[in-house]
Amino acid sequence: MALHPEIAKIVASLPKGDHSAPDVAGWRAAEEGRVPPLDERTPRLHAVEDATAETSAGNVPVRIYTPVEADVYGLLVYFHGGAFFSGSLDTHDHVARSLAKETGLKVVSVGYRRAPEDAFPAGLEDCYGVVRWAAENGEDLGWDGRTLAIAGDSSGGTFVAAVAAKAHDDGFDRITHQILYYPSVDLDFDVDRYASLRENAEGYGLETAGLKPHNSFYIAGGADPADPLVSPIKREDLSGLPPALVVTAEHDPLRDEGELYASRLREAGVDVTVSRYAGANHGFVQNFSWIPEYYRVFEETAAYLGRR
């Protein structure tokens, strides 16, 4: 189907990009400038608090979202998107809130280190470290000892796949689910191997020609696209990884790599659910979840977690 009309109106208003590397400070400031004041943020939850996770990678800022008052909770550790250089606890606050509200899980959002100030693998190590910290401090978090899900959007989805792989290789088997929203799983932008890169090349917000410059800070910081921890689709053996929900968007250049990754997981014996959102573009979980058809992604996530 065509791009959703509400999304199309906003995409049409965007200035045409020159596909150069973004101005990091300016981009971040513009994002933060769109964050509503604290007392206007929704949905409302029982508690939202900032904390510090003491991990093997160092101290990592986190924000903990408690949906309702209860004795115990399942946990969901969330990694925000932003092409590894942008996004923050604040810009994705509404995503974490919605995940907590709909799933009923306590959500731990990770303020990981970003490029270009901190080179690969700093951000990945922060994300993995917080997952381990959550499990090790389960009593303090009120963890029920059962559900420990990880979720992320776009580059946060990259971290989800890489964290799941690192945990498997380390013998850390507490992760119960991995949830990837339109993940970037193949950072080899010099190779045109997916039809969606051509079908959705222009006119849908994220453009194919912009992928390489937007990820240039991460790559320049030592993230080798041939490394499976950078491009998870390049991992040869995907067996033994946690069950996965992979969400893609119809009008996203990254659509096909996400769906191919899901297929490879399934071929390796991993239990996988794939859900493509019609009329949606890259970033819809963050940018367009105010549209009822796309807020449904949080409800679908809750249903997925609830049936396992």
224 in active site: no
Q: Are 65 and 109 in contact (CB under 8 A)?
A: yes
Which residue out of 88, 154, 155, 196 is catalytically annotated? 154
Which residue out of 90, 126, 186, 252 is catalytically annotated? 252
Which one-letter amino acid corresponds to residue 108? Answer: V
Q: Output the pLDDT for position 260.
A: 98
Which one-letter amino acid corresponds to residue 126? Answer: D
**CA–CA separation, 258 vs 244, rounded Å?**
12
The CATH H-level superfamily of 5-306 is Alpha/Beta hydrolase fold, catalytic domain (3.40.50.1820)
93 in active site: no
Q: Tell me if the bond preceding 213 is cis, omega within 30° of 0.
A: no
282 in active site: yes
pLDDT in tens, the chain (308 residues): 899 999 999 999 988 878 899 999 999 999 999 999 999 999 999 999 999 999 999 999 999 999 999 999 999 999 999 999 999 999 999 999 999 999 999 999 999 999 999 999 999 999 999 999 999 999 999 999 999 999 999 999 999 999 999 999 999 999 999 999 999 999 999 888 999 999 999 999 999 999 999 999 999 999 999 999 999 999 999 999 999 999 999 999 999 999 999 999 999 999 999 999 999 999 999 999 999 999 999 999 999 999 64
C-alpha dist (Å) from residue 8 to 4, 12, 287: 6, 6, 13
The ranges assigned to domains in the chain are 5-306
* Other CB atoms within 10 Å distance of the CB of residue 300: 17
C-alpha dist (Å) from residue 130 to 188, 222, 240, 251, 301: 28, 22, 21, 32, 21
Q: Output the pLDDT for position 192.
A: 87
**CA–CA separation, 6 vs 296, rounded Å?**
16
In sequence order, what are the beta bridge partners of 275? 247
